Amino acid sequence: MKFSKKLAACLTAAMLMLAMMATTAFAEKGTVDWNKGVIRAMGIGAGKSTTKNPGLYRAQARRAAIMDAQRNLAETVKGVRVTSDSTMEDLELKYDVVRTQVDAIIKGMNEVSSQLMDDGTYEVVLEMPIFGAADSLSDAAFLPFKDEPKVSFPQPSTSTSVTVNYTGLIIDCRGMNLNCVMSPVIKNDNNQAIYGHQNLDYDKIIVNGMASYANSAEDEISRSRAGNNPLIVKAVNLADLNANPVVSTADADKILAANRQGKFLENCAVVFVY
């Protein structure tokens, strides 16, 4: 099968258009799904216009699509917020080891879908988990915190007795425009942190993540993370660029007292409903 000059010209024009699209693909081709805990990126590729073998052309198109998806994934990852005031791009610029790890993870990602389009181009979607023991963004994001000394959870400010064995914590942040981050902090209304990465085992953070983001206290995400009997409290405010939930001092004391018995904070059994 031979490609006509007209088809070759069309393919060349398509490749130029794809190159232009790649420079502005962040918003359209990369998404962060905090509910499912994944980052997805799409890539589109065409083979060389001079390639006459259809099989070789498709292989070239698929490879070009994978490379485009990897670029889009890398750009999307840069915008993921690690803390309230830092993004993955900040960490990559500051720590060479983080940038190297991110590059390695992206190159090892398998596509979750691929499709040969009617015009001969390929469309590929890559997906990276935000948390997980292997090949997840947390492998890179928390490297700078790995050797930090751990800090015990603070004591309740008042004598608070809790008789219920809670399985997890759900903080209702609906209507407050909560910004999702990989390393959130829970504070009381005296600006005291009661939950943060410095309180947690490093390996548990990498595998489980510090918190899940859900649309309701009753959905599957909340149930699987916080268990069948979660402690549910309402945030009174958000701090630090709307990334960190603030609860009342009374609720903070109840959380800390309940955690003495249930140890749900140590197990990262935390959900933010937003």
- Would the pLDDT of 7 be above 90? no
Mean pLDDT for the chain overall: 89
What does the pLDDT look like over 9-27, one tens digit per residue? 444 444 434 433 333 333 4
Residue 158 in domain: no
Q: Is residue 54 part of a domain?
A: yes
Q: What distance, in Å, lies between the first and last C-alpha atoms of the chain?
A: 55
Q: How far apart are CA 60 and CA 47, in angstroms?
A: 5
Q: pLDDT tens-digit profile of 153-193?
A: 999 998 888 989 999 999 999 999 999 999 999 999 999 99
What confidence score (pLDDT) does residue 135 get?
87
Looking at the fold, whether 86 and 9 belong to one and the same domain comes out as yes
Q: State the greatest distance between any 2 C-alpha atoms of the chain, in Å, as a whole number.
A: 82
Q: Domain range spanning residue 264?
A: 168-273
- Same structural domain for residues 18 and 127? yes
Q: How many domains does the chain have?
A: 2
Residue 60 domain-assigned? Answer: yes
Say if residue 3's pLDDT is above 50.
no
Q: Tell me if 171 sits within 8 A of 247, measured CB to CB.
A: yes
Residues 23 and 88 in one domain: yes
* pTM exceeds 0.75: yes
Q: Establish if 159 belongs to a structural domain.
A: no
Helical segments of 119-216, H only: 137-141, 202-208
Instruction: Examine the domain organization and report whether 116 and 233 are in the same domain.
Output: no
Decide if 155 is inside a domain: no
Same domain, yes or no: 182 and 140: no
State residue 28's pLDDT score.
Answer: 61
160 lies in a domain?
Answer: no
Residue 150 lies in a domain: no
